[in-house]
A and B are shown apart, each in its own frame.
Chain A
Amino acid sequence: MSAPLLWIAIPFLVGVSILFFLRERFSAFIGGSVAAILALIALIFPIDEALLLGSISLKISPSIQFFGRSFEFSAADGALLAIIYGLAALWFFGTEASGTANRFVSLGLMIVSLLTASIAVEPFLFAALLIEIAAMLVIPLLVPPYQKPGRGVVRFLIYQTFAMPFILFSGWMLAGVEASPGDLGTTTQAGTMLGLGFAFLFAVFPLYNWIPMLMDEASPYVAGFLLWALPTFTVIFALGFLDRYVWLRTSPQLSNAIQFAGVFMVASGGVFASLQRHIGRMMGYSAIAETGLLIIIMGLPSSEIVNLTFLLLIPRGLVLAVWALALSILKRNAYSLLFNEVQGLARSFPAAVTALLLAQLSMAGFPLLAGFPARLAVWQELAGQSLTMTLWVFIGMLGLLAAAIRSLAVFVMADEEKKWRVNESWVQVTMLGLGVIGLFILGMFPQILQPFLADLPSLFNRIGQ
């Protein structure tokens, strides 16, 4: 068995099978189980190493050729695959509780497998194409059948599509830069092209306006999945660029531009989140702020970039899953997610509201919760470089905190006679409860991520130098 077959082809085929052959009520369990099994295999079986089980020898070969392109995984990819499929399993198990249709699990599996392929493909520039295909597969998820796509969906597709030619074109130019490193003009042009491509992919300010629009018009659970999946793989793709091209890491102009973009995203995302009156849009802006943090990390002149990135990415998956699940439960019971519609819901949906608020506080870096350790580490690293930038990041996080407190105030503002009552189903309470426990565990004991983090720097071994 080859690794690309196992972690790309199989989940893709399972996704197709679920879409065409499986009933809705089994899809969450099947999809979640497949993703969980793939995560476990990635954790237990090393790639390209023989494993003896009694008299049977098992070996997962690292690569496969497909239409002249190679898909390769190294031994160090095991931890990464475990993280990706582990978090995907969490999202798929949650679909039952969120009430999302079976298209989520099937298309979700296909999207995750395509994005996983983007990590493995060689030449690695083809990742841009795979990300674009994954983005197109998101559309049927976002738009219910026989309905016209909203403005946010259209804009999302436009921006993702803009990203692809910029990145492919920059790849062609980068080959020229490698051939003649002294050519400043080509270097600047290649850097600008690459920057624009990633600006579209990461949804850097002001290219992020599709995110709050999407949170307004689409299912929160689907939009949350999108906000988890695309930035996660885009970050890995971007780290690949930084790892391969030395001049990208050493150029102070590029580093400044990356950090400036990141700080702007964090500060504007935080401030805009605090000024919203729609709890779905708040989630969108919070995700934007966190993507900004990831961009800041990539611009840091530090040997800890990979550790910091994954310390932030892993809790992000959990936080967004809990938040999106809670939002979708509330949306099914409230007319909309505007403040005046969700006022006082803490007493009728205590589990969903508690989970939502804890996820929101976690995103703001509240101590004890999953987001805190990573933010603390980022602040400390950034403070050593520039206190002004740290202050802006801090302002952004305070904005997210203010947003969480506003949400809290709205949720608890119930009439005097309203009694506390749990209206969520037991599946919903269980899923939310597990998610909340996860938030606290990751917040209090971030060292449990160490087995995953230990091998990851070897994936990008030139970044840490």
Chain B
Amino acid sequence: MLILISCLLLFVTALALMVLRVAQPIARYTWLVAAGGGILASLSVFLWLAQLPFEIALPAWRPASLFTTPILFRADEISWPFSISMAALTLAVLLTAAARPVFVNSFSWVGALALGGVGILAVTADNPLTLLLVWASLDLTELITQLRSVNGKSNNEKVVVSFSARAFGLGLLLWANVASAAGGSVLDFQSISAGSGLYLVAAAGLRLGVFPLHLPYSSESSLRRGLGTSLRLISAASSMVLLARTPTESLNSMASSLLTILALVAAIYGGWMWLRAPDELNGRPYWTISLVSLSVISALSGNPSGAIAWGCALILVGGSLFLSSVQLPWLNRATLAGVWSLSSLPFSLTAGAWLGRLGFFMPFVIVAQALTVAGFIRHALRPSGRDSLESQPGWARAVYPAGILLLVIVQILLGFIGWDGALQVGAWLQALLASLLTFGLVWATPRFRILNPIRAHWVTSTTSRWSGVSQGFWSLYRGLAKISQSISVTLEGEGGIMWTLLFVVLFISLLAQGSP
């Protein structure tokens, strides 16, 4: 029931804001309503700790003989860290909104609250069917939000490409379900067969842009800091939960090595581009790719709880950086707590991230992690191009830092309490090596030209590297379209009936030969 309470708090607040927007467009207390809803929702998720684990089932689909899997949500040591991270991010978006240039009851507050609710539903989904439904609602919400906010043919096309990648990810998850049914078992996260486990990882990888490497989110959207941050991070984390729920036993196959290599390539590429991105918002797609890839590697190495750690880091560490729009030196330094969270050092958020079998992939993983952390340090310390709090009223000056600090506090706290990955010493030697390499990269960045940031207009998110593959795909598509057109012209033309009857006779003779 607590799951529903937390989500309903977010949804009802979003609904209240919409009603207020229509009934009292100039009401001054709407932000208080929004923030109040966010605070209550975050507190309610903290309360889950008192009852973990617990679950809630929605009315079963019928006929029962056809639908054996219930729609079930479960709060446990996997879903709680994700849920608290999402609730905290939603609250932080609303708190930091106080310092934004446009401060009115906007569509973005409603969007952030609704996304937080759907995100929590996604991470608490206890079986693939439930996850499919929540993913679909998240995808449709994101599609509508993005289409409303972008202009121009090319940006619209990027939104559709991103939606299609996620829709085909849904297809892979569905196929995992079908493959499991073929083996005579019902697919749930507890009893996934070896074949189905890889489909699940591939589905998450496809949705997240790792398999094949592509950037599902464009950086040109006008939704930049508030709702944009919420949209990108929650959407990604809701797919990462699948990695955390995939049991180790289901991943023992040759294909998992291949997937690890692909994920490593994506992680190193993402980390490299993140380090060299002109600013944090232009680099955000690479941040996502990089952390998501590290999460996939953790899951494939037999350590699903590592995927939780990277998922929470994606939301909390990323959120604290992307929501920072105001120049406050002490707050910038506080944001650097994210370095600790990303370091995998003992008792940090990601301490348990590398407890799996990495084998000879380890050096590459260290490189990828170091690139990501170095990029984070560079962007967190970059002082230029940010607003000031000077012109803001007193309460806004107090509330804005609280939003950023909330994310910092939660990421430190998660290193100590609440889930299986907390209070771990972890692979400290590997963490130490990654940290040394990180500081080396930070030292080298201003000194070596190759590590210098690239210009903003050179950061082409989806098109450039993806264009080769897409050109090949379009050539194949055009070829198939020509064949289909020839068949249609033949069958629909003057002699179509004769051709059709000829085909019918052919099929009957083929079937007759096949029968005894």
Contacts of B182 in A (CB 8 A): 383-384, 387, 390
Can you identify 19 A-B contacts, CB atoms within 8 angstroms?
A155-B496, A209-B492, A253-B511, A260-B511, A271-B484, A272-B488, A311-B63, A366-B136, A368-B140, A380-B66, A380-B181, A383-B178, A383-B179, A383-B182, A390-B178, A394-B171, A414-B156, A416-B151, A450-B62
Which listed residue, A212, A367, A414, A453, touches B132 by the CB 8 Å rule?
A: A367
Distance A205 CA – B488 CA, assembled complex (angstroms): 12
Assign chain B's interface to a size class: 35 or more
Which listed residue, A260, A304, A367, A377, touches B136 by the CB 8 Å rule?
A: A367
A209-B500, A447-B61, A453-B63 known; A379+B181 contact, CB < 8 A: yes
Contacts of A334 in B (CB 8 A): none
Interface string of A111-132 (1 = CB under 8 A from B): 0000000000000000000000
B15 at the interface (CB under 8 A from A): no
Contacts of B485 in A (CB 8 A): 275
B interface residues, Cβ below 8 angstroms from A = 59-63, 65-67, 129, 132-133, 135-137, 140, 147-148, 151-153, 156-157, 159-160, 163-164, 167-168, 170-171, 174-175, 177-179, 181-182, 184, 477, 480-481, 484-485, 488, 491-492, 496-497, 499-500, 503-504, 508, 511, 514-516
Q: Is the CB of B63 within 8 A of A412?
A: no
Q: Is the CB of A377 within 8 A of B160?
A: no
Assign chain A's interface to a size class: 35 or more
Q: Is the CB of B67 within 8 A of A377?
A: yes
A-B CB proximity, top 7 nearest = A367-B136, A383-B182, A447-B62, A383-B181, A377-B66, A275-B484, A209-B491
A379-B181, A390-B182 known; A415+B61 contact, CB < 8 A: no
The B interface is mostly helix, strand or loop, or mixed, namely helix
Q: Is the CB of A415 within 8 A of B163?
A: no
A373-B61, A412-B156 known; A199+B504 contact, CB < 8 A: yes
Q: Is the CB of B171 within 8 A of A307?
A: no
Distance A102 CA – B60 CA, assembled complex (angstroms): 43
Q: Is the CB of B168 within 8 A of A398?
A: yes
Distance A240 CA – B236 CA, assembled complex (angstroms): 50
Q: Is the CB of B137 within 8 A of A304?
A: no
Contacts of A408 in B (CB 8 A): 160, 163
Distance A209 CA – B503 CA, assembled complex (angstroms): 12
Q: Is the CB of B66 within 8 A of A304?
A: yes
Contacts of B160 in A (CB 8 A): 405, 408-409, 412
A271-B484, A401-B168 known; A206+B157 contact, CB < 8 A: no
Q: Is the CB of B61 within 8 A of A379?
A: no
Which listed residue, B67, B136, B167, B514, touches A373 by the CB 8 Å rule?
A: B67
A sample of 7 more A-B contacts (CB under 8 A), given A383-B178, A387-B178, is A256-B514, A271-B480, A373-B67, A398-B171, A408-B160, A413-B156, A415-B152
B502 to A, closest residue via Cβ? A206
Q: Is the CB of B63 within 8 A of A450?
A: yes
Q: Is the CB of B66 within 8 A of A155?
A: no
B140 to A, closest residue via Cβ? A368
A44 at the interface (CB under 8 A from B): no
Contacts of A205 in B (CB 8 A): 503
Which listed residue, A304, A308, A366, touches B167 by the CB 8 Å rule?
A: A366
Q: Is the CB of A367 within 8 A of B135?
A: yes
B166 CB to closest chain A CB, in angstroms? 11
A375 to B, closest residue via Cβ? B174
Contacts of A192 in B (CB 8 A): 508
Distance A228 CA – B174 CA, assembled complex (angstroms): 27
Distance A423 CA – B178 CA, assembled complex (angstroms): 42
B253 CB to closest chain A CB, in angstroms? 17
Contacts of A383 in B (CB 8 A): 178-179, 181-182
Contacts of B175 in A (CB 8 A): 394
Q: Is the CB of B65 within 8 A of A367?
A: no
Distance A387 CA – B199 CA, assembled complex (angstroms): 15
Distance A420 CA – B492 CA, assembled complex (angstroms): 39
A446 at the interface (CB under 8 A from B): yes
Distance A429 CA – B179 CA, assembled complex (angstroms): 41
The A interface is mostly helix, strand or loop, or mixed, namely helix
Distance A207 CA – B500 CA, assembled complex (angstroms): 6
A151 at the interface (CB under 8 A from B): yes
Distance A212 CA – B484 CA, assembled complex (angstroms): 13
A145 CB to closest chain B CB, in angstroms? 25
Q: Is the CB of B167 within 8 A of A206?
A: no
Contacts of A414 in B (CB 8 A): 153, 156
A175 at the interface (CB under 8 A from B): no
B482 to A, closest residue via Cβ? A275
Distance A1 CA – B430 CA, assembled complex (angstroms): 85
Q: Is the CB of A212 within 8 A of B488?
A: yes
Distance A275 CA – B483 CA, assembled complex (angstroms): 10
A358 to B, closest residue via Cβ? B140
A207-B500, A275-B480 known; A368+B136 contact, CB < 8 A: yes
B137 to A, closest residue via Cβ? A368
Distance A416 CA – B508 CA, assembled complex (angstroms): 55
A349 CB to closest chain B CB, in angstroms? 14
Which listed residue, B66, B164, B500, B515, touches A311 by the CB 8 Å rule?
A: B66
B131 to A, closest residue via Cβ? A367
Contacts of B147 in A (CB 8 A): 346, 412
Distance A450 CA – B181 CA, assembled complex (angstroms): 24
Contacts of B184 in A (CB 8 A): 384
A260-B511, A367-B136, A368-B133 known; A155+B497 contact, CB < 8 A: yes
Contacts of A260 in B (CB 8 A): 511
Q: Which of A427-464 contact B (CB under 8 A)?
A: 444-447, 450, 453
Contacts of B481 in A (CB 8 A): 275, 277
Q: Is the CB of A447 within 8 A of B60?
A: yes
A173 at the interface (CB under 8 A from B): no
A159 CB to closest chain B CB, in angstroms? 9
Q: Is the CB of B156 within 8 A of A446?
A: no
A257 at the interface (CB under 8 A from B): yes
A50 at the interface (CB under 8 A from B): no
B62 CB to closest chain A CB, in angstroms? 4
Q: Which interface residue of A152, A205, A373, A380 has the most chain B CB atoms within 10 A?
A: A380
A213 at the interface (CB under 8 A from B): yes
Contacts of B164 in A (CB 8 A): 402, 405
B242 CB to closest chain A CB, in angstroms? 14
Contacts of B159 in A (CB 8 A): 412
A151-B492, A304-B66, A346-B147 known; A384+B153 contact, CB < 8 A: no
Q: Is the CB of A253 within 8 A of B178?
A: no
Contacts of B499 in A (CB 8 A): 206
Contacts of A275 in B (CB 8 A): 477, 480-481, 484-485
Q: Is the CB of A447 within 8 A of B59?
A: yes
Contacts of A398 in B (CB 8 A): 168, 171
A374 to B, closest residue via Cβ? B66
Contacts of A376 in B (CB 8 A): 67, 129, 174, 177
Contacts of B156 in A (CB 8 A): 409, 412-414
Distance A373 CA – B135 CA, assembled complex (angstroms): 16
A422 at the interface (CB under 8 A from B): no
Which listed residue, B136, B157, B177, touches A413 by the CB 8 Å rule?
A: B157
Contacts of A401 in B (CB 8 A): 167-168, 171
B144 to A, closest residue via Cβ? A354
